[in-house]
Structure 1
Amino acid sequence: MVEKLIPYDPAEDLTTDEAIEVFLADAFETGDARYIARALGVVARAKGMTKIARETGLAREQLYRSLSENGNPTLETTIAVLKAIGFQISGKRAA
């Protein structure tokens, strides 16, 4: 019997600020810039990339590229995305 595997998208499970906070905290704890960028991309997709693009003033395509596995977002982009999703650079929910 052959089992069929389906792709898993973690963005589908990030439905609360608490889940996002745990997800980002885990990413920041790794200290891996690429992993952090990718995690921000997952969160941005969960929140709606078009909405994030509008709030940051950045092009949606640029966000997808910067926040991908091979992306390398600037600090300015990282801060703008965190602010747009309601978080601060520490990865904790903004007050």
Structure 2
Amino acid sequence: MTQYAPFDAVDYLNSEAHCTEYLAAALEDPNPDVFISALSDVARARGMTHIAKAAGLGRESLYKALTPGAKPRYETIRRLMDSLGIRLTIATA
């Protein structure tokens, strides 16, 4: 029987371009958990402890805010995105 390693997007988020495209694709999904999960993946790829510190959050608080089903406050998401160097823009469809 063939054995497969579990897929982890973090293994492929090794550049700014990859992270940007990954987050943009996740944001297109109407399910907010998809974007939150993608933010978590990008934060893990860059080092959760470092990102939490840069965002002024505890590492445990950041993990909790980025779990599926969590309803993080806008302020938390904004601080996280700022620490990741990510900016959302608005455009017409």
Query: TM over 0.5, yes or no?
Result: yes
Give the C-alpha shift of residue 60 in structure 1.
0.5
Q: What is the letter of the counterpart of residue 51 of structure 1?
A: H
1:47 maps to 2:46: yes
Quote the Cα distance in structure 2 between the aligned partners of 1:77 and 1:58. 8
User: Which stretches in structure 2 are left out of the alignment for 5+ residues?
Assistant: none
1:34-93 alpha-carbon deviations (Å, 9 max, x no partner):
1111110000000110011111111111111111223221111111111111111339xx
Q: How many residues matched?
A: 90
Match of 1:34 in 2: 33
Structure 1 segment 16-35 matched on structure 2, within 5 A: 16-35=15-34
Name the TM-score, length of structure 2 as normaliser.
0.88
**Relative CO higher for 1 or 2, CA cutoff 8 Å, sep ≥ 6?**
1
Structure 1 segment 1-95 matched on structure 2, within 5 A: 2-90=1-89
Name the TM-score, length of structure 1 as normaliser.
0.86
Quote the Cα distance in structure 2 between the aligned partners of 1:89 and 1:59. 24
Tell me if structure 2 keeps the 8 A contact 1:79–1:89.
no
Q: CA RMSD in A?
A: 1.5
Runs of 4+ more than 3 Å apart: none
User: Which stretches in structure 1 are left out of the alignment for 5+ residues?
Assistant: none
Quote the Cα distance in structure 2 between the aligned partners of 1:31 and 1:88. 19
Tell me if structure 2 keeps the 8 A contact 1:52–1:85.
yes
Identity over aligned residues, as a percent? 32
